[in-house]
Chains A and B, each alone.
Chain A
Amino acid sequence: MIRQEPTTSRAPEGTAPLFEVRDLTVAFVGESGPVPAVRGLSYALSRGEVLGIVGESGSGKSASALAVMGLLPSSATVSGSVRLRGEELLGLSDRRLARIRGSRIAMVFQDPLSALTPVHRIGDQVAEAVRIHQGVSAAAAHDRAVELLDAVGIPNAAQRARAYPHEFSGGMRQRVMIAMAIANDPDVLIADEPTTALDVTVQAQVLALLETARRMTGAATVVITHDLAVVAGIADRIVVMYAGKAVESGPVVPVYADPRMPYTIGLLGSVPRLDRPGRPLTPIEGAPPDLARLPQGCPFVSRCPVNVPVCRTIEPALEPVARSDRRAACHRRGEIAFGRIGGAPVFPLPEIASAREESPRDGRPAVLEVRQLVKRHPITTGVVLRRRIGTITAVDGISFDIREGEALGLVGESGCGKTTTVMQLLELAAPEEGRVSMLGRDIASLSRDGRKHLRREVQVVFQDPFASLDPRLPVGDIIAEPLRAFGVSLDRRHGRVRDLLDLVGLSAEHANRYPADLSGGQRQRIGIARALALEPRLLVLDEPVSALDVSIQAGVLNLLEHLKVHLGLAYLFVGHDLSVVRHVADRVAVMYAGRLVEVGDADEVFGHPTHPYTQALLSAVPIPEPGTERQRTRILLDGDLPDPADLPSGCRFRSRCPLFARLPPERRRRCSDVDPPLEPRSTGDHQSACHWARDNPILPAGAGRSRTGRSDTD
């Protein structure tokens, strides 16, 4: 029985769609019988069309792509139908499928360095993709490989082709993947999380390149991602997956504007948005169901705020939403409109005391003061006798402070020095150069006791909630650990653990569980509870939500906001996701190549960025709204961070600065001769380090309020 999917109507009448997936199911072998991963997925694509498949981890989105390519382990069972120009692909032998893979259907994978073979040269790996499918000589394939590398924007392609994958940056490796994918002009291009784990500037480059690749080859493209904002920018149509099923599908614009399935509504509400900083997030409570023990009825029922009795017994099918080519899998899809049901929002806005105590910044005491902090790493060589052959200055004279009750977001691309800064601060050791004072005390002058005392006041929450919790201890002991270290009595510890669990939104019974039994979001809450045990005044948050799914992330972000207001905590929040930082931070410091290039009030810096780097960063952040997203102009940065051992003279950003490229030669000279210091801009304590800084609102929200920076005279 084949269900007709009206979403295929884009294809001209009478012709079969270019690429069609019907009722695809995938199951893996589990301990007790098969575990479904994909439970009936259908979509169809015509030439040049882009489909975004969105889902959180475990939703089956990646398994469905691998199933299409025949790349699942042989233990997985796949059924349904996958047709390319009418030809059935499921059930073909590996040999026949191999002939189609890479030539007619190509795939781009997520790149954590591992997707390219470490022992072969880049050029050879691309050339292989050519040779497998085109009967050309090795030399011709190599020439073609260099051409392809050049086409995807690898500088010095002929020479770089001789390099190995470890000599390439993440963004460059992803370009190589795309070069291999387009080597044979595929009909279908599948990109599985193509930009996950990349910096936002690199993500923008890769997305632009994917778009170019699509135009060059005219391929129908499937983009699989967890990031709603990425899909908003590039996809024509969207499929939202949950628990192995498509739960909503349709053209992107109406789906984003008026989602009909509560899960989609929840997802959209839980993503922090750069253009709507003040808006509270609506987290989806609970966790996705265990696919090995799927409940009867709607898989979303336990997390759905508007479920009705029938939801527990009958699983809703993906059915058309009133007279449109959209579909949703919800019994109440007819009643839901624009995120509301019967006039009330499906996900009510959580109560968050956002009434920040607006006492003026100057009146509040500084919790952390950093002045001209420098951190150098030696570069050494030799095995028996280590010799120092140079130094890398990872942090080069940065200054900032954090006042009580305030969150400072430290942002920048990976390698900019933000992690080094955090590590240096957490050591509570006197810096090589510069001065750090915490709670008014200079760290260099601290005695051992003083340092121990300070440790109570400064706590940290790390990125990976699993790695930072001892798996052998029950949660209660984990939280109580710092208390024990500081000699708090057993009785008081018990009471405190209960209070802390309550504070972070968990119940007392969680104290007896082990980290392995908890979800990612719960684990991160435990991490926060442990950090709060000693009632610190400053919390260092190192990418605290980047390992979490969006629906879970929202809850943790709300919790952080709540704690800040209620406990008067100060945060140093390090993050690569600018939307998240925008949501959390009161102040922002933007870091580039070991320096701060722009510091100030978050509204000022995000609303009126004056440094070209900040402007480029912000322009690269996608916004989960198709209309807005497509009208934005991106400032694409070339290349990667400069080698810290070989920085350009004058301004460090010069090698990538889009403004520099447009300056007349006499002004350029200033950039290459003089290292720009941080200078105050128009209002407040907003500072940036650029000779030619000018206000350039990047975000739609700030449009029309543009002002000119102070230093635009010369």
Chain B
Amino acid sequence: MGRFLLRRLVHHLVLVFVAVTLAYVLASLALDPRSRYEGRNPPAPPAVIDAQLSEYGVNDEDPLPERYVHWMGGVLRGDFGTTVTGGSINDELWSRALVSLRLLVIGSVLGAAVGVLVGVVSAVKQHSFIDRLFTAVSFFFIATPVFFTAVLLKFGALQVNEAAGETVLFYTGYETPGLEAGFWGTVTDQVAHLILPTLSIALGLTALVSRYQRNAMLDVLNSDFLRTAQAKGLTRRQALYRHGLRTALIPMAPLLAYSFGTLVVGATFTEKIFGWHGMGEWVVDSITRDDINVTATVALFTAVFVLFAALLSDVLHAVLDPRVRVTA
């Protein structure tokens, strides 16, 4: 099993490298930091602009491979370079990463767990009212883009707050700036900020996972081995718990790995809409600012996040299913 995971890790690392390289090349070709300097008033002499751009490593006159190797070399030493205005990326990176991770980790764990639960209940109670309700709701959220869900949630929160007469659910930022409320006060405040953005990315995931989980569970409910388990003397319920659930979870593991990509995209919208200063907001802003290094850095962060998620789902898969431990 150790070797299996090691192989997967190497595999994922290669993919991360390819993804980041592509992101860097693409950003370098599409973004034009020079324009930011040329448009200045008073106009700066071209030589000065060139020198400035070269110093930041984003001069389009320098050969692309050279710039790429330079940036990559820095990254390997833990230096992500400078922003287009000369600030250090490293300074900003960690605080933003923490903000995004809080959203992504809680959102994905919550989304997947609730999705599995909803799927199992739907399958066991197939054709019942609750099954049909879950089906309708999840199709709604699968069909709805994240930004629409987010705006909807924001609107809902407004109603709640109005009804409550005070701000119960916050929809801007991830904490109240300058709040002095002691430890518990801070926690409550942060949770109140977290609820809406987390919901907006978790709902889509829940909806998707619950559909797949329902199908996987239905397969198991009709499976021969469940019948064998009952023939041995288990009641249907016991057979379901001891033999069915774990088997039904197996197809979820790879699904989760794939859905993290979409999750990150969703998080980008969510951060922008709820005013979270995370990685998603950063990448959107830096594209409009023609900032190559930041764009590539965020791509790297995303790739690494997806790598960990994929690795986690590999571990999960191997733990659940003895059949993959020997193959692959």
Residues of B within 8 A of A133 (CB): 233
| Contact in complex: A114, B224 (CB < 8 Å) | yes
Residues of A within 8 A of B11 (CB): 383-384
CB distance from B239 to the nearest CB of A (A): 9
Residues of A within 8 A of B242 (CB): 128
Nearest to A132 among chain B residues (CB) is: B233
- Bound: A95/B320 CA distance, A: 29
| Contacts of A110-137 to chain B: CB distance below 8 A | 112, 114-120, 128-129, 132-133
Partner of B247, one of A94, A109, A119, A164: A119
| Contact in complex: B233, A99 (CB < 8 Å) | yes
Q: Does residue A69 face the partner (Cβ distance < 8 Å to B)?
A: yes
- Bound: A111/B266 CA distance, A: 45
CB distance from A462 to the nearest CB of B (A): 25
| Contact in complex: B230, A101 (CB < 8 Å) | yes
- Bound: A180/B228 CA distance, A: 10
Q: Does residue A37 face the partner (Cβ distance < 8 Å to B)?
A: no
Interface string of A64-103 (1 = CB under 8 A from B): 0010010100000000000000000000001100111111
Nearest to B228 among chain A residues (CB) is: A115
Nearest to A69 among chain B residues (CB) is: B231
Q: Does residue B77 face the partner (Cβ distance < 8 Å to A)?
A: no
| Contact in complex: B322, A166 (CB < 8 Å) | yes
A118-B321 CB under 8 A given contacts A101-B232, A109-B231, A132-B232: yes
Interface string of B209-251 (1 = CB under 8 A from A): 0000000000000011111111111111010001100110010
A114-B223 CB under 8 A given contacts A119-B247, A120-B243: yes
| Contact in complex: B7, A383 (CB < 8 Å) | yes
Residues of A within 8 A of B277 (CB): none
Partner of B224, one of A100, A109, A383: A109
A115-B224 CB under 8 A given contacts A69-B231, A102-B232, A384-B10: yes
| Contact in complex: A71, B224 (CB < 8 Å) | no
- Bound: A107/B320 CA distance, A: 28
The total of chain B residues at the interface (CB under 8 A) is 30
Partner of A117, one of B229, B235, B320: B229
| Contact in complex: A102, B233 (CB < 8 Å) | yes
Residues of A within 8 A of B47 (CB): none
| Contact in complex: B322, A132 (CB < 8 Å) | no
CB distance from B107 to the nearest CB of A (A): 29
CB distance from B313 to the nearest CB of A (A): 15
Residues of B within 8 A of A267 (CB): none
A119-B233 CB under 8 A given contacts A166-B322, A384-B14: no
| Contact in complex: A98, B230 (CB < 8 Å) | yes
Partner of B228, one of A95, A119, A177, A382: A177
Q: Does residue A578 face the partner (Cβ distance < 8 Å to B)?
A: no
| Contacts of B1-50 to chain A: CB distance below 8 A | 7-8, 10-11, 14
| Contact in complex: B246, A119 (CB < 8 Å) | yes
Q: Does residue B328 face the partner (Cβ distance < 8 Å to A)?
A: yes
A118-B236 CB under 8 A given contacts A69-B231, A383-B328: no
Residues of B within 8 A of A115 (CB): 224-225, 227-228
Interface string of B159-198 (1 = CB under 8 A from A): 0000000000000000000000000000000000000000
- Bound: A94/B229 CA distance, A: 13
| Contact in complex: A71, B231 (CB < 8 Å) | yes
Residues of B within 8 A of A99 (CB): 233
Interface string of B303-328 (1 = CB under 8 A from A): 00000000000000000111100001
A118-B225 CB under 8 A given contacts A98-B235, A128-B232, A133-B233: yes
Partner of B250, one of A112, A119, A382: A119
| Contact in complex: A94, B8 (CB < 8 Å) | no
Partner of A119, one of B10, B227, B238, B322: B322
CB distance from B252 to the nearest CB of A (A): 13
Q: Does residue A106 face the partner (Cβ distance < 8 Å to B)?
A: yes
| Contact in complex: A117, B228 (CB < 8 Å) | yes
- Bound: A383/B232 CA distance, A: 40
Partner of A118, one of B10, B233, B323: B323
Residues of A within 8 A of B236 (CB): 94
Interface string of A172-209 (1 = CB under 8 A from B): 00000100100000000000000000000000000000
| Contacts of A603-641 to chain B: CB distance below 8 A | none
- Bound: A69/B229 CA distance, A: 12
Nearest to B328 among chain A residues (CB) is: A383
- Bound: A258/B323 CA distance, A: 51
CB distance from A375 to the nearest CB of B (A): 23
Residues of A within 8 A of B230 (CB): 69, 71, 98, 101
| Contact in complex: B7, A382 (CB < 8 Å) | yes
| Contact in complex: B235, A119 (CB < 8 Å) | no
Partner of A98, one of B14, B224, B233: B233
- Bound: A129/B238 CA distance, A: 13
Nearest to B319 among chain A residues (CB) is: A119
CB distance from A104 to the nearest CB of B (A): 10
Residues of B within 8 A of A69 (CB): 230-231
| Contact in complex: B231, A102 (CB < 8 Å) | yes
| Contact in complex: A180, B232 (CB < 8 Å) | yes
Residues of A within 8 A of B231 (CB): 69, 71, 101-102, 106-107, 109
Residues of A within 8 A of B247 (CB): 117-119
Nearest to A95 among chain B residues (CB) is: B235
Residues of A within 8 A of B7 (CB): 382-383
Nearest to B250 among chain A residues (CB) is: A119
- Bound: A133/B233 CA distance, A: 8
| Contact in complex: B323, A166 (CB < 8 Å) | yes
Nearest to B222 among chain A residues (CB) is: A73
Nearest to B237 among chain A residues (CB) is: A94
Interface string of B113-140 (1 = CB under 8 A from A): 0000000000000000000000000000
- Bound: A114/B228 CA distance, A: 9
CB distance from A130 to the nearest CB of B (A): 9
| Contact in complex: A383, B323 (CB < 8 Å) | no
| Contacts of A495-514 to chain B: CB distance below 8 A | none
- Bound: A116/B247 CA distance, A: 12
- Bound: A95/B236 CA distance, A: 9
CB distance from A601 to the nearest CB of B (A): 43
| Contact in complex: A94, B235 (CB < 8 Å) | yes
Residues of B within 8 A of A128 (CB): 229, 232, 234, 242
| Contact in complex: A164, B227 (CB < 8 Å) | no
Residues of A within 8 A of B14 (CB): 384
Residues of A within 8 A of B246 (CB): 119
| Contacts of B240-273 to chain A: CB distance below 8 A | 242-243, 246-247, 250
Nearest to A99 among chain B residues (CB) is: B233
- Bound: A467/B78 CA distance, A: 57
A132-B227 CB under 8 A given contacts A119-B247, A119-B321, A383-B11: no
- Bound: A94/B240 CA distance, A: 13
Residues of A within 8 A of B233 (CB): 98-103, 129, 132-133
Nearest to A190 among chain B residues (CB) is: B231
Nearest to A126 among chain B residues (CB) is: B232
Residues of A within 8 A of B250 (CB): 119
- Bound: A107/B232 CA distance, A: 8
Interface string of A149-189 (1 = CB under 8 A from B): 00000000000000010100000000001001000000000
Q: A114-B225, A117-B247 are in contact. List 8 more A-B contacts (CB 8 A).
A: A69-B230, A71-B227, A100-B233, A101-B230, A102-B233, A106-B231, A116-B228, A119-B250
What would 22 A/B residue contacts be, using CB atoms closer than 8 Å? A71-B227, A95-B235, A98-B235, A99-B233, A101-B232, A102-B231, A109-B224, A115-B228, A116-B228, A117-B225, A117-B228, A117-B229, A117-B247, A118-B321, A119-B320, A119-B322, A128-B234, A128-B242, A132-B232, A166-B323, A383-B11, A384-B10
Residues of A within 8 A of B (CB): 66, 69, 71, 94-95, 98-103, 106-107, 109, 112, 114-120, 128-129, 132-133, 164, 166, 177, 180, 382-384
- Return the 4 tightest CB-CB contacts between A and B, nearest first: A102-B233, A114-B224, A102-B232, A132-B233
